[in-house]
Amino acid sequence: MQTNRRYLPFAIAGLAILTIFLTVVAGAYITGNWIPTQDSVISELGICLQDDVYKQTPTVPVGTASLQVCGMVNGTTNLVGVLYLYHDRNRKMVESRVLTLSPGAFFVTLALPVSLEEGSYSVSFSREKITRIESVFTVQ
């Protein structure tokens, strides 16, 4: 009987570690940050002039203070990632936002810290630090 008691602290520690691991995995699954069968992808990404009509435009007027980023998510699960807006002259990041996107068309309004100046810009969506899709547009 003494031999079994010697292993009791190790068994308790093992159960505690297993419980913590399962809690973290369940929490990530419930919040949508981890989906083992994630199948959604962004098939289209661009800029729309309105937030209710899915029609992308290649140009935006100078002085724009907010952008409507739009696109299409194909699949059956939510897609979590980061949306970046870059000024392509020096690849300077203008804005970024963490998003959870549902399947179908999406519209995201970016209120910009400064009005856009003339030039080329890009908007991209990254997941797990990998750029999945990128679109270029011009401000003129």
Kindly state the percentage of the chain with pLDDT values over 70: 94
**pLDDT tens digit string along 86-105?**
998 778 888 999 999 999 99
Q: Determine the Cα–Cα distance for residues 50 and 54; give it in Å rounded to an integer.
A: 8
pTM passes above 0.85: no
Q: Are 87 and 68 in contact (CB under 8 A)?
A: no
Nearest to 76 by CA among 39, 35, 28: 39
**pLDDT tens digit string along 7-62?**
888 889 889 999 999 998 888 777 766 667 778 999 999 999 887 788 899 999 99
Q: Determine the Cα–Cα distance for residues 95 and 6; give it in Å rounded to an integer.
A: 57
Identify the sign of the CA torsion 33, 38, 40, 45: positive
Q: What are the distances in angstroms from CA 45 to CA 27, 78, 92, 97?
A: 30, 16, 19, 15
